[in-house]
Homo-oligomer: A and B are copies of this chain.
């Protein structure tokens, strides 16, 4: 790949300017008021990917937000890489914790600060610019397809049906995804596994209206107190999840494999310092990396009920709510777990309240074998640009659709992500270092070159 560094150097301001056009569109898929922004963002992608050199690009309708599909077919007999990314972003509240406007990107300390700077506008746009480089310098060694969806942050609901419907169009040899992270700027890594996900909305109802906490307190169940107890009961003293059957399908990892995993560099003191916590906290018998890599977990992602404003209202509320999610590991069936939790939690409700569990979204875990050509192509590409062989890691995060791709399209994915743990994705002050953004653009063309080479064998 000749002149990639020079190309980046010559075009870097334009690259950032284009990325910022994408970032400025507040494409928050979780909030229905942003529906028009989803369309605007998809149209902006179309404009940018056509300018980058795609033969054609369409904003295709789905049962939800549209999918941006683009392609450049150089030779049908050559391999095809399908680049997957998403143009939707997470909500931004609590807004008061942001140092800058989340949708007005700023560069400070050589870092881009904005919602979507990493996840996934920054990362997916690297592919557009790497593609542009290969097209403009006549070095594109294979066919490329792009598929950018607008619902990743809310479970990719519509994309499953879209894939079913467009199997032929989406046919490829490998799906290339940059929506994960690496260990550090000087420790490249490739995500070889992802956790699955289940998410539920929980509603606990006590009396039919809010009550005066003095007149009724002590005699009528408080749905907040009850919900807290029910949530507390989901873990035992060793932080094992107590839902019967929850661990049944979890693959037991051999001591040998755990020993191998333990060799990946990880500085727990630095980890604690970065998060400003005194101790880590998780399932007894496992290390921090194991807890996020090979073990499932259960977290309350949101809770609310009663008086949450200023002052001290003495109320015994009628309702309390929680958003509960679990991360799953390979071999756990998310649909089975979804039902398991619903049945268990509703049945666990004491007589004094009613509990309603609504499954929200979910997805299976995914494992990418280190032997496949795409893994080796990515490994070699990163070795070239980082000067160091990347480490395989298991991410605690989930990209449920990746397991969906394998099931529906029959195609494996390679997760070559360039994010950092400090990028604060899903949180206030999301950011993405310029180093990572440009290093990603530099690395991607080598992946294509290596991949096409390996596929010839």
Which residues of B sit under 8 angstroms from A211, Cβ to Cβ?
Answer: 275, 426-427
Residue of B nearest to A280 (CB): B219
- Oligomer: number of copies: 2
Interface residue? A309 (CB, 8 A)? yes
Q: How far is it, in angstroms, between the C-alpha of A225 and the C-alpha of B325 when the chains are bound?
A: 12
**Residue from A206, A216, A221, A360 having most chain B Cβ neighbours under 10 A:** A216
A206 touches B312 (CB 8 A): no
B309 touches A314 (CB 8 A): no
Give the residue of B210, B279, B299, B315 whose beta carbon is less than 8 angstroms from that of A316: B299
A210 touches B297 (CB 8 A): no
The contact string, 1 if C-beta is below 8 Å from chain B, for chain A 30-50, is: 111000000000000000000
The contact string, 1 if C-beta is below 8 Å from chain B, for chain A 282-317, is: 110000110110011101111111111111111111
Give the residue of B90, B220, B310, B396 whose beta carbon is less than 8 angstroms from that of A313: B90
The contact string, 1 if C-beta is below 8 Å from chain B, for chain A 184-208, is: 0000000000010101010000111
Which residues of B sit under 8 angstroms from A279, Cβ to Cβ?
Answer: 221, 351-352
Which residues of B sit under 8 angstroms from A215, Cβ to Cβ?
Answer: 181, 292, 395-397, 421
A207-B275, A232-B229 known; A212 and B427 CB under 8 Å? yes
A90-B313, A225-B231, A300-B225 known; A325 and B281 CB under 8 Å? no
Residue of B nearest to A352 (CB): B281
Interface residue? A217 (CB, 8 A)? yes
A315 touches B426 (CB 8 A): yes
Which residues of B sit under 8 angstroms from A308, Cβ to Cβ?
Answer: 302-304, 308, 321, 323
B301 touches A323 (CB 8 A): no
Interface residue? A350 (CB, 8 A)? yes
Residue of B nearest to A194 (CB): B214
Interface residue? A429 (CB, 8 A)? yes
Interface residue? A348 (CB, 8 A)? no
